[in-house]
Amino acid sequence: MGAELTLPDFLASLGKTELKPGGSYATGALLRMLDVGRHEHLLVVGPHAGNTALFATMTTGATTEALVKEESEKVTEGDPALKRRSTARIGKSEEMPFSDAHFDAAMIEATLALQPEPQRRATLKEAFRVLKPGGRIGLHELCWRQPPTPEVERSLASVWRGEVHPQVVRGWWDALEQAGFGQVRNELAVVSYFTRQGMSADEGEQAAEIFHNAFETPEHLQRFSQAYHEFSENRRYYGVIIATAVKP
């Protein structure tokens, strides 16, 4: 089990719920950088977007809409009071089911780095389209702290086992600017998948259960250990970019 899963899906199979590379820290930092106001309308794209959107509504007071892949990812459907403030729509990031100039801000997490370049360009183009003039976009994505060696690129492909295309910081800036955005700024954070602090902050008491599940079978342990050592031993290469930009 796990051989056919991407790294985030494998971690999810062990019970991990926070599947974004910078964890809850990066999500919180991104919301602060976007400075979302209570009268604004925020788009949320990424793993467990429905939960993130609800968290954003509760912490900022903004009205939120999550872009989700299927009906089961909608988290506020059964609560009319919550649904008035945080809703979800099924759709694709490269073909968003929203009208032009619909949002004041958008946050995209753990999505663009997992897309081939044509799909990534289409997603950013769609984000540009659905934002109002002056609207802000925020990214939380895997990045390279320095250009990787071919060996490190092969190692990442080996542990990830699926599409993964981190960019150096300048690469993420270029992607935003090519989509039409300006006023780019960014911070860097650590990849929190395997750090003790990140695991504790993201998973709480469930962290111990995740480690227990990782030791459950030799296959689980081998895969978990391989990924843990890759991100630990090559941490000078791996990082998380938290970036914002503005639609003119």
pLDDT one-digit tens code per residue, 95-119: 999 999 999 999 999 999 999 999 9
C-alpha closest to that of 202 among 213, 212, 214, 190: 190
Q: Residue 116: which H helix or E strand, with range?
A: none
Look up residue 152 and give its two tokens. Answer: 């490190």
15: Cα separation from own chain's centroid = 18
- Quick: pLDDT tens for 110-161: 999 999 999 999 999 999 999 999 999 999 999 999 999 999 999 999 999 9
Q: Cβ-count burial of 182 within 10 angstroms (0-12 exposed, 13-18 middle, 19+ buried)?
A: exposed
Q: Give me the pLDDT at residue 100, please.
A: 98
Q: For residue 99, how many other CB atoms are within 10 A of its CB?
A: 9
- Quick: pLDDT tens for 45-73: 999 999 999 999 999 999 999 999 999 99
Q: Give me the pLDDT at residue 64, please.
A: 98
Q: Give me the pLDDT at residue 79, please.
A: 86
Q: Give me the pLDDT at residue 4, please.
A: 84
| Least confident stretch, 9-23, 78-92, 177-191, 220-234 | 78-92
pTM of the model: 0.94
Indicate if the pLDDT at residue 2 is higher than 50.
no
**Confidence band, pLDDT 50/70/90 cuts, at residue 80:** confident
Look up residue 61 and give its two tokens. Answer: 């007071």
Indicate if the pLDDT at residue 1 is higher than 80.
no
Q: Give me the pLDDT at residue 81, please.
A: 85
Domain spanning 7-246, CATH class: alpha beta
Distances from the Cα of 198 to the Cα of 56, 205, 220, 232, angstroms: 20, 12, 20, 13
Domain ranges for the chain:
7-246
Q: Give me the pLDDT at residue 246, please.
A: 98
C-alpha closest to that of 8 among 202, 148, 175: 202
- Quick: pLDDT tens for 160-192: 999 999 999 999 999 999 999 999 999 999 999
Per cent of the chain over pLDDT 70 is 99
Look up residue 185 and give its two tokens. Answer: 């700024």
Indicate if the pLDDT at residue 82 is higher than 60.
yes
Indicate if the pLDDT at residue 78 is higher than 90.
no
